[in-house]
Structure 1
Amino acid sequence: MYHVMLVEDQEIVRQGLRMILEQDEQIRVSCEATNGMEAIEKMTAHRVDVIFMDIRMPDMNGIEATRKIKKQWPDVQILMLTTFNDDEYALDALNEGASGFLLKTSDGKKLIEAVYSVMKGGLVLHDEVTAKVMPRLLEQSNKAVATTDVDLTERERTITKLIGQGKTNKEIASELFLSVGTVKNHISAILQKVGLRDRTQLAIYALTHDIS
């Protein structure tokens, strides 16, 4: 069972999201919040696996809330959900640790699939956002990552390649006949070697350094 928090200042939108998500028997909306500050308060009292986070809200916006929540609860997956098709919002959200960025025009099936994807270690971007954001992420990665070669083992290079292809931890584990825990350990070691923070940056690293 995946426990979800909805962070959205419009009640009618929260109701609609709850109805859509709870069509799946493995998803339960455990709590709701109307702004980022309230979301942080709710995190102390509820078990949450995934947060659907609005961007523009009173008192504390979604970007700031994401930053604070990921710092205190790093294992929580956050999906940014907004009506604003703005690459700056997407970049800010991803840089603060969000696992995906979806427009509120997304259909119900895509929202449910997003929950399963991020819980398996995937990155979820709405198609319209991807086209605008990927060039910016690549540019950002080129500036942030050292150009010197990093001594990765053959297994680490393979895992990095698969992450660059968008594979989840479970998919990588299945393909390489490893446990998910072993894949996570390898990813942690790779991140430390290349000096990156998360798998999103690692996926970009794989693309920009032509790891294949």
Structure 2
Amino acid sequence: MIKVLVADSHPIVQAGIASVLSGFKDIQISGTVGTTTELFEYLSKKKPNIVMLEMDIPEVNGITALRKLKKEYPDVKVLMYSAQPEDVYALSTLRAGASGYLSKGGDTSLIAEAITKIYNGGVFITNELAQRLAVDESTNKPRRFFRKLSTREIEVLKLLAAGKRNKHVAEELNLNEKTVSTYKARLMRKLNVDNLVDMLQQAKALELLQ
């Protein structure tokens, strides 16, 4: 039996995932949590096989929560899911320790497929994403541009886009403000801009942000 913990702040989403998986005898929803505090409280008591972790779960950035989870519970596998652009955040979450990534815009049948593949030791991304990643950069630069950015750079970019100041970005990612400033300067250089507004506009144009 594959035991799955769903970490999402929306009860309707929790119920929807449970409903989709109810038809699979070898998959069981072992629990649901709505915040990262609840997530780690649950993991301190019970160990599911897989955590389905929503990227924008409250309190802590999803990738930060993922890193903490994998550090403290390395045997627990994580399936990240989000409404964020699959092309950007799939690789970022995989680099941070996830075993798979699902877009909320995908078919619900992919949930059980992803869980089963991850449980059996595989890594899950959709066939469509795999095909896009295989496209030569010269023919699809906007969608491949994000590969120039590190996982941490994308984390910083996402928080800046949410209106966070350097101080708050530093606190959330456990960095000092000087390091955040360095990341911001690096992002501006890679995106070929010289101010924050243009950086965020360029990121959106390149589909790095919604």
Q: 1: distance between equivalents of 2:127 and 2:76?
A: 23
Aligned position for 2:96: 96
Aligned position for 2:8: 8
1:79-133 Cα shifts (integer Å, max 9, x gaps): 1111112433223211111001111122232111111101111110123443455
Q: 2: distance between equivalents of 1:115 and 1:84?
A: 20
Contact 1:82 1:102 in 2 (8 A): yes
**Structure 1 residue 31: deviation in Å?**
1.0
Aligned position for 2:52: 52
Aligned position for 1:62: 62
Aligned position for 2:35: 35
Contact 1:85 1:128 in 2 (8 A): no
Aligned position for 1:122: 122
Aligned position for 2:76: 76
Contact 2:52 2:81 in 1 (8 A): yes
Aligned position for 1:110: 110
Contact 1:5 1:32 in 2 (8 A): yes
Question: What does 1:128-139 align with in structure 2 at a 5 Å threshold?
Answer: 128-131=128-131
The AA in structure 1 aligned to 2:107 is D
**Structure 1 residue 65: deviation in Å?**
1.2
Structure 1 portions without partners, runs of 5+:
141-212
Runs of 4+ in 1 over 4 A off after TM superposition: 131-136
In structure 2, do the counterparts of structure 1 residues 131 and 20 end up closer, same or farther at CA, with 3 Å as the change threshold? same
Q: Give the secondary-structure state (helix, strand or coil) at the position aligned to 2:80.
A: strand
1:66-87 Cα shifts (integer Å, max 9, x gaps): 1011111111111111111243
> Number of residues paired by the alignment?
139
Q: 2: distance between equivalents of 1:134 and 1:57?
A: 30
In structure 2, do the counterparts of structure 1 residues 29 and 134 end up closer, same or farther at CA, with 3 Å as the change threshold? farther
**TM-score relative to the length of structure 2:** 0.60
Q: Give the secondary-structure state (helix, strand or coil) at the position aligned to 1:59.
A: coil
1:16-50 Cα shifts (integer Å, max 9, x gaps): 00111121011111111112232111111122001
Q: 2: distance between equivalents of 1:128 and 1:83?
A: 16
Q: Give the secondary-structure state (helix, strand or coil) at the position aligned to 2:28.
A: strand
Contact 1:21 1:112 in 2 (8 A): yes
Q: 2: distance between equivalents of 1:72 and 1:132?
A: 33
Structure 2 portions without partners, runs of 5+:
136-143, 149-210
